[in-house]
Amino acid sequence: MSEDKNSPLHERRFIFGATTAVITNMGLVTGLFFSPNAKMNIIGSILVIALADNISDSLGIHIFQEAEKLKIKEVWLSTLTNFLTRFLVSMFFVLAIAFLPIQQAVVGLIVLGMGLLALISYFVARSQNRNPFIAIIEHIGIAVVVILASHWVGEWILGHIIS
């Protein structure tokens, strides 16, 4: 895996983990926002995802890269970078939910999450000589679909399953 050391994407390993953590956590936050004990439910869910799903994804990346016959050092570096990036982004979400009023935390996390996703999209598009605006719209659009679908599922469960 050769990398351009002068590129802002020198550490491309962070992109997958950050993107996955932001979108997953925004979905969790919006899906569980109206649940009883929302803070506890959101924090518990993020912690479970930050461990179980994160380990699962990191192992998937690890095995895929082994199958691609990458150097073992690169495989382990990608695995650990993905895990730590997702974990740290998730812990930021946990801290925001724990210490801010729930409505402010949800709105703030969505704004920050969309900003981070736009920033990642911008740098990826620039590195590929693509139009950054198109990439940002495309990736934000996907995140909006995740947020709306998660919110709808959360409301449906609350209205039909829990009640």
Is the confidence at residue 3, as pLDDT, over 60? Answer: no
pLDDT in tens, 118-148: 999 998 899 889 999 999 999 999 999 999 9
pLDDT in tens, 74-111: 888 888 988 999 999 999 999 999 999 999 999 999 99
Is the confidence at residue 5, as pLDDT, over 60? Answer: no
Of 20, 23, 17, 12, the residue nearest 112 (C-alpha): 23
DSSP 64-126: HHHHTT--HHHHHHHHHHHHHHHHHHHHHHHHHHHHS-HHHHHHHHHHHHHHHHHHHHHHHHH
Average pLDDT, the chain: 88
